Chain A
Amino acid sequence: MSDDTDLLLRRILTDVLGLKQNQASDFTEETGLFGHLPELDSMAVAGLLTELEDRLDIVIDDDEIDGEMLETYGGLLAFAKAKREQA
């Protein structure tokens, strides 16, 4: 399986944040997410995680969710890649 996790994750963030096409391609590993973007409140993050589950075909347990994975784009990408490898 070729790894399209990065692409899919950028698409999900584009949808959740209402970004313009390609705006999410500027995200780097260090780009801040939860706690950095005011529009990403708990309900938005819950929606984002649900979309991650649906589109990446993974299941995320609540106790897997921690500050580190949500803090930066790189953290979330690493988490999503690891989950897909387990799946």
Chain B
Amino acid sequence: MTPLTWPCPLRDGTTTDEYALSFDHARARRLLIVPALFDEANRLRRLTVEVMRRLDGAGIDSVLPDLPGTNESLQPLEIQEPQDWSNAMAAAASHFGATHVLGIRGGCLFTPAGFAALHYAPAKAPGILRQMLRARTLAAREAGREETREGLMHLALTQGIELVGHRLGPEFVRRFETFALRTDAVEITQETLGGSGLWLRAEPGESASQADALAAAIARALA
């Protein structure tokens, strides 16, 4: 496993270096993985990397780039818009010469067009936003403050909002709400893996059998 950087496009036409993990031996089958989003990124990172190890063993190269503004990225999250993430993933896929792309949960929203796509347990944008807003109202209530979803959405769309530690700008929220999954991807369901999704876990967990099953499903799809 090797950390490396790739040129991520910026809106002014220049690029900045972003970070990625890779297993790259210049093999014929090359998979770009778009990670899960926000909280789920942490809970699924271990599974994601374990799947990459297994793909490496099966003769498949893979690369896991950071979405700009997340993980090791030095860009501020609050200036990002969904289209920036789509552009970034498309640039990363081209840079690495990907033959296929895999989205994990909310990452499926950003699998670049023009590459054959697999979607593992895709999550829809409104559901992701709703759950983060709900977490915030629960935390506020626990702290003795009353916040409503309507009030928070108004705040989010006018000034941006901090949701479970992620500072999202108003344009991100506005556009993300209606951001749709592409419909031509091959879906890998949680039933294929067996057991319950690790994104549900309150604490990041791991499962060797789920990593085995997901890697096997990917290898079949890429065969």
B-binding residues in A (CB < 8 A):
14-18, 34-35, 37, 39-47, 49-51, 62-63, 65-67
Contacts and interface: CB of A to CB of B under 8 A. Distances in A.
Given A42-B139, A46-B134, A18 B148 contact: no
Given A15-B200, A43-B39, A43-B164, A62 B205 contact: no
B164 A42 contact: yes
Given A39-B203, A43-B164, A46-B132, 4 more contacts: A14-B196, A43-B132, A47-B199, A49-B134
Given A43-B39, A45-B138, A16 B201 contact: yes
21 contacts: A16-B200, A16-B202, A34-B142, A39-B202, A41-B139, A41-B202, A42-B138, A42-B142, A43-B39, A43-B131, A43-B132, A44-B202, A45-B138, A46-B134, A46-B135, A46-B138, A47-B199, A47-B202, A51-B200, A66-B141, A67-B141
B149 interface: yes
A15 B195 CA distance: 9
A35 B143 CA distance: 12
A36 to B, nearest CB: 13
A29 to B, nearest CB: 21
For the complex of A and B, list the 6 residue pairs with the smallest distance between their C-beta atoms, beginning with the closest. A44-B202, A15-B196, A46-B135, A42-B139, A39-B202, A46-B134
Contacts of B135: 42-43, 45-46
Measured as residues with beta carbon below 8 angstroms from the partner, the interface class of chain B is 20 to 34
B148 to A, nearest CB: 7
Contacts, number: 61
Q: Is the interface of A mostly helix, strand, loop or mixed?
A: helix
A18 B205 contact: yes
A18 B138 contact: no
Q: Is the interface of B mostly helix, strand, loop or mixed?
A: helix
B163 to A, nearest CB: 10
A40 B138 contact: no
A16 B204 CA distance: 10
Nearest to A63: B148
Interface in B188-221: 196-197, 199-203, 205
Nearest to B147: A62
A14 B202 CA distance: 11
Contacts of B164: 42-43
A15 B201 contact: yes
